[in-house]
Amino acid sequence: MALDILAMAPLYQAPAITRIGPKTDPSKRPADPLKPLVPSRTKLTTIEAKRIMSILDEAINKVELVTLLSYVASNREDVEGVLGEDIMRAVREHEDLCQVLLENVRCLKEKERQLQEQEEAEEEGWLRDRLLSIELQKSSLSPLTQQIKDSTKNVLRLLLSNPQAARLLQMQTQSRSAEAQNFIDSLIELRGFLFEKLVTSPMEARHKAQFIQDINRQNSNNQQIIDTLENELAERMKNRNAEEELEDLEAVHREEKIALEELKRRHKVLVEEFVQIREEREITSKKRMEAEQEMVRMVRAATLIQAFWKGYLVRSLLRSKKKRGKGKAKGKEKGKQKGKEKGKGKK
């Protein structure tokens, strides 16, 4: 809620009391023509919608981590101290599996190429053996692919169990390939579309579709009128025969030109308003996304601080117990020594 308020603060300014004008009749206020394009809600309200967005956010987070595994494999010495031994071991196993898969695919393509080149020149028995070898190698790719999937899940599990390592790895965005970044950007864009879809009620969606349809129909009608006027004007200018007629045509042309300019002006205003609303929605969506990301970072930071604090309390408790244990042992030794001294005095 606080982040929502901060995100919306620049868009709202309270009116000064000295600038408040006289009240107007609400019935005479012009309605906003582009209101159907803006959803009435700005955040998710249902549990189902929140779960959908949570699943998509988790998927984006995992894709961001997976697309950086190649960076980890090629920079082991730099990241080993940060990610830890377990994660690095899992990454190495994953890299080995990927190399085996790539090598098998390369060999398979080479065999297929040789088969195509020698298909007509060799004997039937040789071709049959080669085809069988290719089929066997193809069948071995499926379990290897499944192993790579399992190793990917294992690496992700280890990274997600270590938020600090995952966060440090995600900071290496410049090491991600352009194709992977484009895929992530597409997922983020999909998230924006999905969020807008989830906050839009079915009635609002129908109104929006109807509004866009009406705008397109009006634009089409305006264009037809413009084409008709231009055609009529061209035809009249072409068929004029006398000068009384030239004056009439000029007068008609002026009127039609005024009407044409008015239509163009109205069309331009509608287009500008539509573009402005779309830009405002993009800005609002971006701020909302940034606020959600900030909340996620704050939650992760709070979790990390709590973990450190709990660890500190446990260590402090252990040290205090250790000190008390040593104190009791020293007290017992002193008591035994005093007993011995008393026994000697009696003798």
**Which among 181, 99, 114 is positioned nearest to 148, based on CA atoms?**
99
Residue % of the chain over a pLDDT of 90: 2
Across the range 83-110, mean pLDDT stands at 84
Residue 139 pLDDT exceeds 70: yes
User: pLDDT-derived band of residue 244, with 50, 70 and 90 as boundaries?
Assistant: low
Per-domain residue ranges of the chain: 200-321
Residue 302 pLDDT exceeds 80: yes
Which token pair is 99?
Answer: 């190399």
User: pLDDT-derived band of residue 266, with 50, 70 and 90 as boundaries?
Assistant: confident
Which residue in the block uniquely carries the two structure tokens 């070898």? 133
Pick the residue with more confidence: 334 or 78?
78
C-alpha neighbours within 13 Å on the C-beta side of residue 59: 14
Which token pair is 137?
Answer: 């190698």
Spatial separation of the C-alpha atoms in residues 275 and 289, rounded to whole Å: 21
* Residues with Cβ within 8 Å of residue 59, at least 6 apart in sequence: 187
- Neighbour-count burial of 83, counting CB atoms closer than 10 A to its CB (0-12 exposed, 13-18 middle, 19+ buried): buried
H-helix or E-strand containing 74? helix 69-74
Pick the residue with more confidence: 120 or 238?
238
Spatial separation of the C-alpha atoms in residues 249 and 346, rounded to whole Å: 145
The distance of Cα 334 from the centroid of its chain, to the nearest Å, equals: 69
What amino acid is encoded at 307 in this protein?
A: A
Q: What is the pLDDT of residue 16?
A: 29
User: pLDDT-derived band of residue 15, with 50, 70 and 90 as boundaries?
Assistant: very low
Instruction: Report CA Rg, the chain.
Output: 38
Spatial separation of the C-alpha atoms in residues 51 and 157, rounded to whole Å: 20
Pick the residue with more confidence: 172 or 119?
172
**Which among 37, 30, 34 is positioned nearest to 269, based on CA atoms?**
34
Pick the residue with more confidence: 303 or 336?
303
Spatial separation of the C-alpha atoms in residues 189 and 206, rounded to whole Å: 23
Measured in degrees and rounded to the nearest 5, phi and psi for residue 152 equal -65, -45
Q: What is the pLDDT of residue 21?
A: 32
Neighbours of 151 (CB within 10 A): 19
C-alpha neighbours within 13 Å on the C-beta side of residue 65: 25
User: pLDDT-derived band of residue 99, with 50, 70 and 90 as boundaries?
Assistant: confident
Neighbours of 198 (CB within 10 A): 19
The pTM score is 0.44
Which pLDDT tens digit goes with each residue over 203-243? 777 777 788 888 888 888 889 999 988 888 887 777 766 66
Calculate the average pLDDT of the chain.
76
Which pLDDT tens digit goes with each residue over 145-181? 888 888 888 888 888 888 888 888 888 778 788 888 8
User: pLDDT-derived band of residue 124, with 50, 70 and 90 as boundaries?
Assistant: low
